[in-house]
Structure 1
Amino acid sequence: MMRRIDPVLLLFSAAVLAVTIQKGIVLAHPGNFLLFRDTFHRLVSGADVYNPPAGEMTGFLYSPTFALLFAPFALLPLALGLLLWNGINALTLYWGVTRVLPARAARVALLIVFLDTVRSLQNSQTNALMAGLIVLSFVALERERAIPGAAAILVGTFTKIYPVGAGVLGLMRPRPVRFLGVFVALGLLFAALPLVVLSPASLLATYREWWSIIQRDDALQGQSVMRFVSAMVGSTVPAFPLQLAGTLLLVAPLIAQRVCGSDARFRLRWLCSLLVFSVIFNHQAESASFVVASTGVAIWYVTGSPHWWRTTLLGLVLAFETLPHAFFAPADLYKQVIGPNALDAVPCLLVWLVIQYELWRWPRSSDEPKISPRETLANLA
């Protein structure tokens, strides 16, 4: 008897195909995909990755390792490479969510993030891939598989840096020292990968240039809490103090609570916090980045007890972050009101504060028995 295909998988696959046709064939302008492809070719030819000649696309902010890993997509014809790239992005997120949640909850969560996923695909962004890799790293580490868990985190880290925060998940598991050793060893391997096409001196120079670009971007505020606060006070607020405060709040429950090593539900809730935090305190966040935050919101929503206020918070996230980008929404609503004031970050911030409150008050009594991850997250087996 044939196994029934998940309709949400069909929906995500249809979105991949539709966006590929729209951006790669009809419009022939697949956004960042061209930038990634051109950067790969510059890398293998020994040209300057971060300062292309006049007339070529600029704005590459990723590591030389990412440029090399883009080879499978860059070497294919445009439409086919774009189809594969979009498929990897969308289906990695689908795979991660379906691995960490029971089937029905996973479908609900994926429907919540669907429009944000499509928006990320239309920009040929890496955001859906980042969300999927972070979730898959959690799944691997819950199964005590340090190598695939560390590899998933490092692929994300050498793409957008912030997935490195998922490394904390490995420190919550048995044998954290072993995980740390695996993480460092694989990290050195990933960092050295471009030696396949570059000399050691050229690779070091490329990493220095990448680091200088990252430092220059520290002055940005993005669609973040920092921009919202700046809009409220009427002047630019430095990003670092708010990012430091957010980081301290993020890790505080791990220090205060003693259940992080024994309660998989606590770790799953902290994963939700990390996903949301990675966007709303990110000075480089843009509208397409919010698929990462909405993944955290969606998992938080479907794994919590049903309450009207949780549904209200989800509704606010959809109303301010997701729906303003839909085709039926007035374009000026986002461009003139929501975007300049980073109002799309506010509902996510509210959800994040609730998550932090839940983590801080995490039950230790008999109504929250300590059970194994395999029992808590039913389909991790």
Structure 2
Amino acid sequence: RSDMNQSSQNPLFFKSPLVEESCGAIWLKRALILWAVLWIAVSVKFVLQPEKKSVYPCFADSSINWWADRNLYDNQEYKTGFRYSPTFALAFSIFAVLPASLGGILWTALNISLLVLALRLLVKEIFPGDWTRFQEAGFLILSLAGCTRAIWSAQSNSLVFALAVFAVVSLKKERWWSAAFLLAAAVHIKLWPAALALLLMARFPWNLSPRFAAACAVLVIPPFLTRPLPVVLQQYQNWYGLLTGPYRTLRQGGLRDAYTIAEQFGTYVDDRVYTLLQLGMAGLALLWCIRLAKISNSMQTYFTGVLTTWVCWQLLVGPGTERLTFLLAAPIASWALIVSFKEQCHRTLAVVAWLMLIPLGTGGVERLLLPVASWSPAILPLGIIPLMVWQIVYVETHARESELQASEQTDSLLDQGTARAA
């Protein structure tokens, strides 16, 4: 009876398994169609306005600059804003040689297809518990709401997140080399996935660490095979100079992180103090992931926790977190929202996190709220806090329940042994 009452209160429950299966399949198709519609809309935009509100020209121009032996990182002269690795500039050549519209369409198709595949793998391989097709459809739709803006601007964040998910799935299946190269590929697009690699290497030091280092080294090599040695060395030196020079501490208008929270509430934070904050939060993230390895009742719970911790650290105090970087939070916040209703676990926290990170955190809503809430630019980073709190409470609650079940089973076995002895 208690199961029936719980099920009837669950909005993601169907009374008939057959109805659930058929309805779930229909909604899953609808969710995939919505993602296809997004690709069509972006494709039309690339045909009509290939360079408007898009970073695709930055990527394509940098690939052209690579083959012309121009400085990829001279943003004053070429104004591309490029800050990715030479390997990424080389790899993007397959799109840069095409007309801008066609290249943008294919680049978007790659990002959307890999992201959708990653989202479905999260449900199938990583997220704990059993998921129905209806719940998977809801997850895809909720994630779409938070990913649309970044995909519209042809950002690479969806590709980075997909590579991170593929790496975690490979680790779960103990495919060490695949995981190492996937993580290395993500790092050669944007450096900050190295934080995820470090968190995972704490759990798999011998299996992952040497392979990851080797994979990163291997992916440095391709540029040297295409241009003269002095030119490539200078490109890497210029890249290093960009990442470690004044640009590192330059505050741009689109950044959204803990620094933004301090700014919006009138607190000045010295760059050195903020660096210490970043390192301190990284240490806390590492400690939490070590605890996850001890208390998680399954590898799925552990990997989900590590992904969530990495995303929260990156978006709150990580380097170069822009508004569009919050695409990373959309799948995690959507997972938390669905699970909070599915398991009746602290719904308020999950709802608040999802609302702050997705609808309330968009640029349009932020500008709309500015006249009445001057601190509205801080909504996005503030939304990370309830998400991380929800994850900690969720994992700790499940750990306590597992301990209680194990204790009850032990007591039951002892009682049976005592009864037999008597």
Normalising to structure 2: TM-score of the pair? 0.77
* Cα 1:283–1:171 shift into 2, 3 Å: closer
Aligned equivalents of 1:155 and 1:335: distance in 2? 43
**One-letter amino acid of the counterpart of residue 29, structure 1:** E
2:357 corresponds to: 321
Given residue 391 of structure 2, which amino acid in structure 1 is its aligned partner?
A: I
Contact 2:60-2:95 within 8 A present in 1 as well: yes
Q: Which amino acid aligns with 1:229?
A: A
Matches within 5 A, 1:33-48: 33-48=56-71
Identical aligned residues as a percent: 18
TM-superposed CA distance for 1:258, in Å, is: 4.8
- Per-residue CA deviations over 1:106-161 (Å, capped at 9, x if unaligned) read 32222222122110022211111122221121111111111221222112111111
Alignment of 1:290-301 (within 5 A): 290-301=326-337
**What is the deviation of 1:331?**
3.8
- 2:304 maps to which of 268, 280, 290: 268
The Cα offsets for residues 286-318 of structure 1, whole Å up to 9 and x where unpaired, read as 111111022222233444574667433343334
Between stretches 353-362 and 116-125, larger displacement belongs to: 353-362
Match of 1:68 in 2: 90
Amino acid at match of 1:187: C
Q: In the alignment, which of 185, 205, 210 is matched to residue 234 of structure 2?
A: 205
Q: What is the alpha-carbon distance in structure 2 between the residues aligned to residue 231 and residue 203 of structure 1?
A: 42
Give the deviation of 1:51 after TM superposition: 1.2
Between 310-319 and 158-167, the greater mean CA deviation after superposition = 310-319
* Structure 1 position 246 matched with structure 2 position 284: no
Change (3 A) 1:85 1:258: closer
Q: CA deviation at 1:345?
A: 1.1
Give, in whole Å, the separation in 1 of the partners of 2:147 and 2:120: 15
Shift of 1:104: 3.8
Name the structure 2 match of 1:190: 219
Shift of the 251–53 alpha-carbon distance from structure 1 to 2, 3 Å rule, reads closer
Once the two structures are TM-superposed, the CA of residue 228 in structure 1 deviates from its matched residue by: 0.3
Is residue 63–residue 90 contact of structure 2 (8 Å, CA) maintained in 1? yes
User: Does the 8 A contact of 2:95 with 2:104 survive in 1?
Assistant: yes
Partner of 1:159: 189
Q: Which amino acid in structure 2 is aligned with residue 365 of structure 1?
A: E
Q: Would you say 1:129 and 2:164 are equivalent positions?
A: no
* Distance in 2 between residues matched to 1:275 and 1:367, nearest whole Å: 31
Q: Which residue pairs with 2:128 in the alignment?
A: none
Which one of the candidate residues 347, 372, 380 is aligned to 1:311?
347
1:347 aligns with 2:383: yes
Deviation at 1:105, TM superposition (A): 3.7
Q: Specify the structure having the higher radius of gyration (Cα).
A: 2
CA apart distance, 1:334: 5.8
The answer for the alignment partner of 1:379 in structure 2 is none
- 1:203-224 Cα offsets, whole Å, 9 max, x none, are 2221221122112333145200
Name the residue aligned to 2:257.
224
How big is the shift at 1:26?
Answer: 2.0
Matched, 1:289 2:325: yes
CA distance in 1, matches of 2:293, 2:37: 44
| Structure 1 vs Structure 2 CA RMSD | 3.0
Cα distance in 1 for partners of 2:372, 2:47 equals 31
Alignment-derived partner of residue 377 in structure 1? none
Q: Distance in 2 between matches of 1:255 and 1:124?
A: 35
Amino acid in structure 1 at the alignment position of 2:201: L
In 1, the alpha carbon distance for the partners of 2:296 and 2:387 equals 24
Instruction: Give me the whole-angstrom Cα distance separating, in 1, the residues matched to 2:374 and 2:143.
Output: 19
Displacement of 1:270: 2.2
- What code does the residue aligned with 1:148 have? S
Q: Please name the residue that 2:369 is paired with.
A: 333
Change (3 A) 1:338 1:159: farther
Contact kept in structure 2, 1:278 and 1:293, CA below 8 Å? no
Alignment-mate amino acid for residue 235 of structure 1: Y
**Per-residue CA distance 1:74-128 (angstroms, 9 max, x = gap):** 1222222111111222222211110121444432222222122110022211111
Is the contact made by 2:39 and 2:108 (CA closer than 8 Å) also made in structure 1? yes
* Aligned residues of 1:172 and 1:261 also touching (Cα < 8 A): no
Contact 1:277–1:352 (Cα < 8 Å) also in 2: no
2:77 is equivalent to residue 51 of structure 1 = no
Q: Distance in 2 between matches of 1:367 and 1:168?
A: 33
Q: 1:86 to 1:367 in 2, by over 3 A?
A: farther
Q: Distance in 2 between matches of 1:273 and 1:296?
A: 10
Please give the alpha-carbon distance, in whole angstroms, between the structure 2 residues aligned to 1:330 and 1:227: 13
Cα gap change, 1:230/1:327 in structure 2, threshold over 3 Å: closer, same or farther?
closer
Aligned residues: 364
Conserved? CA contact 1:131–1:275, under 8 Å = no
Instruction: Give 2:286's aligned amino acid.
Output: V
C-alpha change, 1:32 and 1:337, in structure 2 (3 Å) is farther
* C-alpha contact 1:150 1:179 (8 A) present in aligned 2: yes
The question of 1:100 aligning with 2:96 is answered no
C-alpha contact 1:93 1:131 (8 A) present in aligned 2: yes
Once the 2 structures are TM-superposed, how far is the Cα of residue 57 of structure 1 from its aligned partner? 3.4
**Are 1:97 and 1:106, in contact at CA under 8 Å, matched by a contact in 2?**
no
CA shift, 1:368, in A, is 7.8
| Equivalent residue number for residue 18 of structure 2 | none
Determine the structure 2 residue equivalent to 1:375: none
